[in-house]
């Protein structure tokens, strides 16, 4: 069942078109990934879904009704994990959860139980009575998620929930997301980390400069690169002789250079590897590493834009 239908929404900030005629649908019970580099328009899209920002154009339909006329219907069932941590730093984690629970009308024993459940879910049981400004970045991120879950939302929107945290907290968050989804929660997951989106999401929409580049399941997206593989070579110092030689190979797809790293996409990876080593020898340059990449969303993005997802 389609829960949310985004119909051609656009949003401009003065001259800048932050979101440009964007459309996608979200089914009940799925994890939907919104993938794109910084500035792609992900947060702006989320603000429009949450009715915090009116679109210039287009419509957003939640359960067959436009949220333009009835924002409350979605807002009641929405849990928002904002990109910027939204917590009261001088209060304890417990009091933060208590406040948001209270806001959603949860009281007394029910609130207490709910806070305990959430605290356990986000793995903060031993620190929940401490002030938030004493927390590490990862703990704040986890509490930020907990605060959005207190009222058991039907739709959870997470805007880059893992930015700038330690791997342990990150794994905890990814597992939490999977668990919530298993219990039936629909989730929109926004990130510029393609590994996370690959791991979590049923369907993915790749955004760039406010536009949809591609969308579909992970498999559908990888088909876009048609079985082509990618080899990344890290040079100590990249020289022009190498670049001249490599471009002569007839079976080469895109070549992307970032500092001293060269990414080469090719349909014929086996031949490429042999030829590559030969050229490196001839061009008198030292390499630090050669990676043969599995087909991934990173490669898809590179293929579609000629730019790396993270820069």
Ligand X SMILES: Nc1ncnc2c1ncn2[C@@H]1O[C@H](COP(=O)(O)OP(=O)(O)O)[C@@H](O)[C@H]1O
Q: Identify what 39 binds: ligand X, other proteins, Mg ion, none; CB under 5 to 8 Å per kind.
A: ligand X
Residue by residue, DSSP assigns 150-191 as TT--SEEEEESTTTT--HHHHHHHHHHHHHHHHTT-EEEEEE
Q: Which of 259, 293, 170 is nearest to 301 (CA)?
A: 293
Q: Which of 212, 285, 277 is nearest to 58 (CA)?
A: 212
Torsion angle of C-alpha atoms 171, 173, 178, 179, degrees rounded to 10: 110
What residues does 216 pair with on adjacent strands?
204
Sketch the per residue contact string, 98 through 127, with other proteins: x for CB under 8 A, - otherwise: xxx-xxxx----------------------
Q: How far is the C-alpha of 49 from the C-alpha of 97, rounded, in Å?
A: 24
CB of 309 to ligand X, least distance (A): 12
Between residue 186 and residue 205, which ones bind other proteins under the rule CB under 8 A?
A: none
What residues does 258 pair with on adjacent strands?
261
The number of CA neighbours under 13 Å toward the Cβ of 75 is 13
The number of CA neighbours under 13 Å toward the Cβ of 196 is 26
3, 32, 36, 170: residue in contact with ligand X (rule CB under 6 A): 36
Is residue 44 close enough to count as binding Mg ion by CB under 5 A?
no
Tokens (6 digits) for 220: 């559908």
Among 23-31, 79-87, 108-116, 128-136, which window interacts with Mg ion (CB under 5 A)? Answer: 79-87
Is residue 82 close enough to count as binding other proteins by CB under 8 A?
yes
Is residue 52 close enough to count as binding other proteins by CB under 8 A?
yes
Sketch the per residue contact string, 82 through 121, with ligand X: x for CB under 6 A, - otherwise: ----------------------------------------
Nearer to ligand X, 43 or 92 (CB): 43
10, 43, 186, 296: residue in contact with Mg ion (rule CB under 5 A): 43
Chain residues in the site for other proteins (CB under 8 A)? 47, 50-52, 75-76, 78, 80, 82, 84-91, 95, 98-100, 102-105, 131, 147
Chain residues in the site for Mg ion (CB under 5 A)? 42-43, 83
């Amino acid at each position: 069942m389609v829960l949310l239908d985004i119909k051609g929404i656009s949003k401009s900030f003065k001259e800048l078109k932050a979101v440009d005629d964007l459309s996608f649908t979200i089914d009940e019970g799925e994890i939907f990934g919104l993938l794109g580099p910084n500035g792609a328009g992900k947060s702006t899209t989320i603000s429009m879904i949450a009715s915090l920002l009116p679109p210039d154009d287009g419509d957003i339909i939640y359960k067959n009704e436009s949220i333009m006329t009835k924002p409350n219907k979605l807002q009641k069932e929405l849990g928002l994990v904002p990109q910027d941590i939204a917590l009261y730093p001088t209060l304890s984690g417990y009091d933060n959860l208590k406040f948001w629970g209270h806001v959603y009308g949860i009281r007394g024993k029910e609130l207490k139980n709910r806070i305990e459940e959430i605290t356990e879910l986000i793995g903060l049981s031993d620190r929940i009575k401490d002030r938030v400004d004493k927390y590490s970045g990862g703990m704040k991120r986890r509490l930020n998620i907990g605060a959005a879950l207190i009222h058991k939302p039907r739709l959870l929107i997470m805007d880059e929930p893992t930015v700038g945290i330690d791997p342990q907290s990150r794994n905890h968050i990814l597992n939490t997301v999977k668990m919530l989804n298993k219990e039936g929660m629909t989730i929109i997951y926004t990130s510029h980390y393609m590994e996370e989106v690959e791991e979590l999401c049923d369907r993915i929409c790749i955004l760039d400069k406010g536009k949809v580049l591609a969308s579909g399941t992970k498999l559908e997206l990888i088909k876009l690169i048609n079985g082509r593989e990618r080899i990344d070579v890290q040079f100590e110092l990249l020289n022009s002789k190498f670049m001249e030689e490599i471009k002569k190979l007839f079976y080469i797809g895109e070549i992307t250079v970032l500092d001293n790293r060269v990414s080469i996409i090719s349909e014929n990876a086996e031949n490429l590897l042999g030829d590559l080593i030969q050229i490196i020898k001839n061009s008198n340059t030292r390499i630090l590493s050669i990676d043969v990449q599995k087909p991934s969303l990173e490669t898809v993005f590179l293929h579609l834009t000629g730019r790396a997802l993270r820069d």
